[in-house]
Chains A and B, each alone.
Chain A
Amino acid sequence: MQLAVWTYEGPPHVGAMRVATAMEGVHFVLHAPQGDTYADLLFTMIERRDRRPPVTYTTFQARDLGKDTAALLQDAIRQAAARFAPQALLVGASCTAELIQDDPAGLAQALDLSCPVIPLELPSYQRKENWGAAETFYRMVRALADPAVRAGPRQGRRPLANLLGPCALGFRHRDDVVEVVKLLDSLGIGVNCVAPLGATPADLRHLGRADFNVVLYPEIGAEAARWLGRTFGQSTIDVVPIGIGATNDFIQAVAALAGVDPAPALAAAGARLPWWSRSVDSTYLTGKRVFIFGDATHAIAAARIASEELGFTVCGLGCYNREFAREMRAAAARHGLDPLITDDHLAVEAAIRASAPELVLGTQMERHIAKRLGLACAVISAPVHVQDFPARHSPQMGFEGANVIFDTWVHPLVMGLEEHLLTMFRDDFEFSDVAGPSHLPPAHLPAAPQAPAPAEPAAAPGWTGEAERELRKIPFFVRNKARANTERYAALHGRAQIDLATLYDAKAHYAR
């Protein structure tokens, strides 16, 4: 048994629901006890969908056990097929139904429905949500893709790609698809099928028509892409275009594969991140320590952006999905780090404390950890709450995605700087509480109170008052470093007391 307060991923049947909900014309019958319908509200509330997920639950209760759960399942399948008339029906079992061992596949097949029935094996006690989504999508592709449909000759037509992986409850999947379709279009490449998001079983039938596959989210799409590669000989682009560098790599890779000119796409005018990052305002970002955690794809992409495009120092990197441990280890090695691969949020919290970052990039969970530790934070990966399914266009991928990322990551830091400035000037006559807002006329202000004499700051042990006062004139963001250096220098030279001379001797010493 494993003790868990918080889980990064749900059970695998939630992954299956994400695929079913992403698609049109699919219905999923889930053999599950009363109560498992809670998962519906992830879609209707977090993603704010205006329809119920296309899922029918058998919702068996204790009194049904041992006699008619199998009949219950068959009834549910029959009724769902009649009511919703899906193009394809998925059947599977949640964790409890897995234990009672009715056979959804056999029971469904015995009904002899007119639509294809795709049984799912979802081992709930070994696997998790992302695996469930990948497996479901793979099973659907395998069952539905028509082996006779192949890419035709290339003369006189645009190259065609499938976009694989975008899903319901995916972090920014909706807007990423828009950006990547735009990118491909600027390369003169058409999209054959986006799946599972928005696809129908009929669309999956024609997956073979594409010249190649683009896997946007390996966690969900890689398994299906591997099978398509084997079956249709389609190559796979697995560069995930998150960040300027990765987007450029993506364009180069796609252009090479499709035999088109990458130049127009590379020259796209929409990318502001490079100039924003070079502008002097961003100088203070240099070397900021950042801790990164999330799903492997987003965490690895974020690490590259952080170090190459924003000039941060990556001080911690990890992911919660073990399936991508190998990729994560390779990425961490590039940053000279040991990767943190865990689904225990307490281990993540401990690692964040230990690496003392100035910025945390992570999931909803890291947002709360950062809040508790008083650190700046931005969200880069699922799981996320409702506010990270925004109304506005907010991709992570492509050039617009890079713009979004720049704003999102820098914003909490600017806020941090503002907070420090306000603290620093708290005693300043124009910043004090009684001064009121600067843009309002002073007429309504209360009579200025007699300003009390500023209290003499107490000198730290070992420091003379004079040296302490001088230290406080040093800007706050280097003050602690100056204090630590000075104290180290004093200890090194056996000086019991730190006076002005020691302060400046130390400054000269460490300046070399």
Chain B
Amino acid sequence: MIGQADLAPPAPAVLRERGQREVFCGLTGIVWLHRKMQDAFFLVVGSRTCAHLLQSAAGVMIFAEPRFATAIIEERDLAGMADCQDELDRIALQLLERRPEIRTLFLVGSCPSEVIKLDLGMAAQRLDRHLAGRAGGGPRVLHYSGSGIETTFTEGEDACLAALVPHMPAHENAAAPQLLVVGTLPDIVEDQFQRLFAELGIPAVGWLPARRLADLPPAGPATRVLLAQPFLGETMRALQDRGAQRLDALFPFGAEGTTDWLRAAADAFGINPMHVNRVVAPGRERAKRAMAHSHDRLRGKRITFLPDSQLEVPLARFLSSELGMVPVEVGTPYLHRDLLARELPLLPPATRISEGQHLERQLDRVRADRPDLTVCGLGLANPLEAEGFATKWAIELVFSPIHGFEQAGDLADLFARPLRRRDILRV
């Protein structure tokens, strides 16, 4: 007799490693979060290193009067804690005076601020109370940690969104289920999904983060959460604490992933499957047509992901099931087994999944595996190219529109382009 466990697909073995990690810290999330939240300002409380990281990551964007900055801790701040809180108040108030349009001020914790145990939660509460008395209601002051010791790259967004959850209003009509899409998406992608949800007949969709603080969507037991990004464990937990339920779905990459994601929402709202098929079909067909360009170049090619954003597992699933690529190693900084429960079984059984990193050992594996394409950070991309490996730098996958039907072709092309380039070059 065959037991239930034998029927479930085998859970892939996971290689867990510790050692040097070549990853960004959570502060980097500010670079895209501030573009999405138009009335928010991100004040990092940290060191010169933090400021240097932000300007290195933000590149040329830093000059367009950005809504983020660093309060750099100096020698005299380290002398006494009380002084530090006063300094922070002074800087925050000076900042808000200069930028009166700001409605949310995030105090963002860093490694130095956490190691010296500077209580940003207290600072945020104090400033929030102080500002609440202002005419027309002052800006809200919130806090989260984007430190390297606590967060890896996209986990900075997770921490930020989790900090917003307690400030989401309660549902007015708590009986009717309401859809909440969580995770920063480029506006154009959000608008595409908005149209699809409307066509499906799903009423009033909430988006977290909202473009403006005043539009923060409601949350509660009626909330049905559709995660747009795989790195949102803390946010999901905070939403569950308010009674929200997660809709299990593939992440919306490619024709199949996007279909599954939309269908999960439609099912939760009792939409007729025939209607879902009708609404989804045109986009799904377009996505497949757009990906066809890259199909020949990617099919059968072996790919390795080094850990970066937690997008690695869903992207490997997309490349494997829709474009015929062969994932060799899929590295992720953190593996949320429950959020990826639908994704993991779809990876080919031979895929090596690794969580965490020991950089030198992992690079040894890349050299031994000799994949056709390696997805990695900018600190590793050129050195690997010089060793003869084709690479795709991972950060672009976080900044570019890649979700949904209309972006599926672009997403495939992001992986096909470095291979195409190697074929073109004659130098």
Query: B386, A36: Cβ atoms under 8 Å?
Result: no
Query: A33, B22: Cβ atoms under 8 Å?
Result: no
Tell me which residues from 39 to 75 in chain B have a Cβ below 8 Å from any Cβ of chain A.
45, 47-49, 51-53, 55-57, 60, 62-63, 66, 68-75
Query: A95, B70: Cβ atoms under 8 Å?
Result: no
Query: B112, A96: Cβ atoms under 8 Å?
Result: yes
Query: B378, A41: Cβ atoms under 8 Å?
Result: yes
Query: A124, B378: Cβ atoms under 8 Å?
Result: no
Query: B52, A1: Cβ atoms under 8 Å?
Result: no
Name the A residues within 8 Å of B91 (CB-CB).
1, 3
Within the complex, the shortest CB–CB distance from B398 to chain A, in Å, comes to 14
A99 to B234, CA, bound (A): 28
Name the B residues within 8 Å of A41 (CB-CB).
56, 377-379
A59 to B112, CA, bound (A): 14
A508 to B249, CA, bound (A): 84
B49 touches which one: A5, A36, A48, A64 (CB < 8 A)?
A36
**In the complex with contacts A33-B25, A34-B23, A83-B360, A7-B52 CB distance below 8 A:** yes
Name the B residues within 8 Å of A37 (CB-CB).
20-23, 379
A40 touches which one: B22, B75, B78 (CB < 8 A)?
B22
**In the complex with contacts A76-B20, A96-B149, A40-B379 CB distance below 8 A:** yes
A96 to B69, CA, bound (A): 19
Query: A124, B48: Cβ atoms under 8 Å?
Result: yes
Within the complex, the shortest CB–CB distance from B223 to chain A, in Å, comes to 30
Query: A51, B78: Cβ atoms under 8 Å?
Result: no
Query: A96, B115: Cβ atoms under 8 Å?
Result: yes
Name the B residues within 8 Å of A44 (CB-CB).
378-383
Within the complex, the shortest CB–CB distance from B160 to chain A, in Å, comes to 16
Query: B52, A368: Cβ atoms under 8 Å?
Result: no
Query: A7, B21: Cβ atoms under 8 Å?
Result: no
Tell me which residues from 82 to 98 in chain A have a Cβ below 8 Å from any Cβ of chain B.
83, 94-96
B47 touches which one: A11, A60, A64 (CB < 8 A)?
A11
A33 to B26, CA, bound (A): 12
Q: Is B87 an interface residue (CB 8 A)?
A: yes
A51 to B384, CA, bound (A): 8
Query: A125, B75: Cβ atoms under 8 Å?
Result: yes
**In the complex with contacts A3-B95, A95-B47, A96-B111, A126-B52 CB distance below 8 A:** no
Query: A51, B49: Cβ atoms under 8 Å?
Result: no
Contact with B along A63-79 (1 / 0, CB 8 A): 01100000000001001
Query: A38, B21: Cβ atoms under 8 Å?
Result: no
Contact with B along A1-34 (1 / 0, CB 8 A): 1111111011101100000000000000000011
Within the complex, the shortest CB–CB distance from A195 to chain B, in Å, comes to 24
Query: A1, B88: Cβ atoms under 8 Å?
Result: yes
Closest chain B residue to A37, Cβ basis:
B22
Q: Is B150 an interface residue (CB 8 A)?
A: yes
Total contacting residues, chain A, CB less than 8 A: 55
Name the A residues within 8 Å of B95 (CB-CB).
3
Query: B23, A10: Cβ atoms under 8 Å?
Result: no
Within the complex, the shortest CB–CB distance from A60 to chain B, in Å, comes to 7
Q: Is A50 an interface residue (CB 8 A)?
A: yes
Name the B residues within 8 Å of A42 (CB-CB).
56
Name the A residues within 8 Å of B84 (CB-CB).
1
Name the B residues within 8 Å of A10 (CB-CB).
48-49, 52
Name the B residues within 8 Å of A6 (CB-CB).
51, 55, 62-63
Tell me which residues from 72 to 112 in chain B have a Cβ below 8 Å from any Cβ of chain A.
72-75, 77-78, 84, 87-88, 90-91, 94-95, 111-112
Q: Is A420 an interface residue (CB 8 A)?
A: no
Q: Is A49 an interface residue (CB 8 A)?
A: yes
Greatest chain A CB density within 10 A among B68, B74, B77, B148 is at B148
A125 to B113, CA, bound (A): 13
B66 touches which one: A5, A52, A62, A94 (CB < 8 A)?
A5
Q: Is A61 an interface residue (CB 8 A)?
A: yes
Query: B49, A124: Cβ atoms under 8 Å?
Result: yes
A33 to B360, CA, bound (A): 17
Within the complex, the shortest CB–CB distance from A129 to chain B, in Å, comes to 8
Name the B residues within 8 Å of A94 (CB-CB).
49
Q: Is A200 an interface residue (CB 8 A)?
A: no
Query: A5, B62: Cβ atoms under 8 Å?
Result: yes
Q: Is B8 an interface residue (CB 8 A)?
A: no
Within the complex, the shortest CB–CB distance from A365 to chain B, in Å, comes to 8
A57 to B149, CA, bound (A): 13
Within the complex, the shortest CB–CB distance from A121 to chain B, in Å, comes to 14
Closest chain B residue to A52, Cβ basis:
B383
A339 to B7, CA, bound (A): 77
Query: A52, B72: Cβ atoms under 8 Å?
Result: no
Closest chain B residue to A101, Cβ basis:
B115
Within the complex, the shortest CB–CB distance from A125 to chain B, in Å, comes to 5
Name the A residues within 8 Å of B23 (CB-CB).
34-35, 37
Q: Is B152 an interface residue (CB 8 A)?
A: yes
A36 to B21, CA, bound (A): 10
Closest chain A residue to B48, Cβ basis:
A11
Contact with A along B275-307 (1 / 0, CB 8 A): 000000000000000000000000000000000
Q: Is A56 an interface residue (CB 8 A)?
A: yes
Q: Is B408 an interface residue (CB 8 A)?
A: no
A221 to B368, CA, bound (A): 42
A48 to B381, CA, bound (A): 10
Query: B360, A125: Cβ atoms under 8 Å?
Result: no
Name the B residues within 8 Å of A363 (CB-CB).
none
Greatest chain B CB density within 10 A among A10, A48, A64, A94 is at A10
19 contacts between A and B (CB under 8 A): A1-B88, A3-B69, A5-B55, A6-B55, A6-B63, A7-B48, A14-B52, A33-B111, A33-B148, A34-B149, A38-B28, A40-B379, A42-B56, A45-B382, A56-B20, A65-B149, A95-B47, A96-B115, A125-B73
Extra inter-chain contacts (14) besides given A44-B378, A96-B115, CB under 8 Å: A1-B87, A1-B88, A3-B95, A7-B48, A7-B55, A33-B25, A35-B111, A44-B381, A50-B383, A58-B20, A59-B21, A62-B114, A94-B49, A99-B115
The 6 closest A-B pairs by CB, nearest first: A35-B25, A35-B148, A40-B379, A50-B386, A96-B111, A95-B47
